[in-house]
Chains A and B, each alone.
Chain A
Amino acid sequence: MAASGSSGAGRADNGYGSQQPRRRKGPGALATAYLVIYNVVMTAGWLVIAVGLVRAYLTKGSYHNLYYTIEKPLKFFQTGALLEILHCAFGIVPSSVVLTAFQVMSRVFLTWAVTHSVKEVQNEDSVLLFVVAWTITEIIRYSFYTFSLLNHLPYLIKWARYTLFIVLYPMGVSGELLTIYAALPFVRQAGLYSISLPNKYNFSFDYYTFLILVMISYIPIFPQLYFHMLHQRRKVLSHTEEHKKSE
């Protein structure tokens, strides 16, 4: 689910390039310049992570325990995506604040509140599963935005963005769920992020139960977002073909 919005179809629009029928003012020249820089930096960041993973794999000869080699850039660039919520709030990006916030926060949650906080899961292969899914998705997504802002979107990038999710999204979701599931016993053991009665705030919170509820929430949310993306794909890619036919 954290991988979901990254192919963009979780958003109501289908990227900056397409024209909206509503009278929405696009970002001004300054905002466009800023957004281009932002998207280029993010593309570069996730490329660094991708290269880091490949090099580590070639050096070590196995795909286990690769998390530590890309831990810092992963945290930096994934957390940096929080800026996208501000982009929507300030109107320089035509997406819903709530939807974007939800997507980014779920990624940040997995990065910090699960993988970082529960050290014991950092060696799990499921972590590699979602990191790879996120990396490929984000590289395509941020380059899609960059090219769209510059009004020069290669069809390959558009195709990749609206097609690769078919595999990457379930892959990412599987990695995320397996990681949370692996973290459960350690959370229970350490009483991580949990508070119990009695206390003067008359409040209790069980992080273990919370994580289980998070996992359950994937059941209704994942299919909805996935089918929405498939729907977007049909719309965007068939529209382009019609456009080509008419030329």
Chain B
Amino acid sequence: MGSRVTFFEVEILDWKTKQQLCFLDKVEPHATISDIRLMFHKSYPQWYPARQSIRLDPKGKSLRDEEILQHLPVGTTATLYFKDLGPQIGWTMVFLTEYAGPLFIYFLFYFRMPFVYGLDDKLTSSPHPVVNLACICHSFHYIKRLIETIFVHRFSHGTMPLRSIIKNCFYYWGFAAWLAYYINHPLYTPPSYGQKQINIAVIMFLICEAGNFSIHVALSDLRRDGSKIRKIPYPTKNPFTWLFFFVSCPNYTYEVGAWISFTIMTQCVPVGLFTFLCFIQMTVWAKDKHYTYVREFKDYPSLRMPIIPFLL
């Protein structure tokens, strides 16, 4: 006779109320959590798979899509818990919104829209070349980020909660407006050390942007085969990637460097403040990533620091 397949039964309970939300019978043992999410979605169309957190314990970690039902520590009647993560936005959409905002907001100030500096200065342009240069650099930075989001980055998690995007947009867009206001202001004062200061800043800016791009490409190549497994990034033939000898997250190092150079170029306190906050945020992210690498790989290069060579 043919082999018997033992079907599973899956009940899904609300993580807080423990109320049974869904009962699935005749589930294939090799079904994945992704399949279960799709089945649950059929019963509750408002809860699309990306906003479902399915876990074994009410307060446990969310199970990944790839997990297979029969490999989980459950009996043939599996009890899973559901938590609504709220509306979710795909990473690509997140980054496009977060980056397009500052790009366009800066232009409102650069072109001196009437509502920004008053009618007397509307649509005038600055006599200082550095102001034009700053606009080019700022725009280049965000256009590069948009291009990377569309063509280079490969995201591991699919989505981000809507509330986070709104918070992030306020922060990034708000800061872009604040620093653009001062740089493009009719009473803007060019850097104290003149052209020398500006030239050094531009060179440093270009180096950091090139470096940041190189790192993003190198990280993306690690996942060229479409896998979601984490791998140790290593320096390549590209000299900009040689920073990998010294830090785990050279993309953050270069990013902070780019903003430092922009601060020097514009000699503007709000830019400096934004740079400082970026530095703090990226240090937190870099440390996180660094310690994840260290925990996951026994042979992780010991010379590497999270974000600043030898220091931090």
Contact = CB atoms under 8 A, between A and B. Distances in A.
Interface of A: 197-204
Contact of A200 (B183, B185, B189, B270): B189
Categorize the interface residue count of chain B: 10 to 19
- Chain B facing A: main interface SS: loop
B189 A199 contact: yes
B188 interface: yes
B192 A202 contact: no
B187 A203 contact: no
Contacts of B268: 201-203
Interface string B175-200: 00000001101011100100000000
Contacts of A197: 182, 185, 187-188
B266 interface: yes
Contacts of B182: 197, 202-204
B150 interface: no
A217 B268 CA distance: 27
Interface string B240-272: 000000000000000000000000001111100
Interface of B: 182-183, 185, 187-189, 192, 266-270
A201 B187 CA distance: 11
A199 B268 CA distance: 10
A130 B266 CA distance: 44
Contacts of A204: 182
A201 B185 contact: no
B267 A201 contact: yes
A199 B189 CA distance: 6
A242 to B, nearest CB: 23
A200 B185 CA distance: 13
A200 B269 CA distance: 9
A4 B188 CA distance: 42
A198 B187 contact: yes
B64 to A, nearest CB: 27
Nearest to A201: B269
A201 B269 CA distance: 6
5 contacts: A197-B182, A201-B267, A202-B188, A203-B269, A203-B270
Given A197-B188, A202-B269, 19 more contacts: A197-B182, A197-B185, A198-B187, A198-B188, A200-B192, A200-B267, A201-B267, A201-B268, A202-B183, A202-B185, A202-B188, A202-B189, A202-B266, A202-B268, A202-B270, A203-B182, A203-B268, A203-B270, A204-B182
Contacts of A198: 187-189
Contacts of B269: 201-203
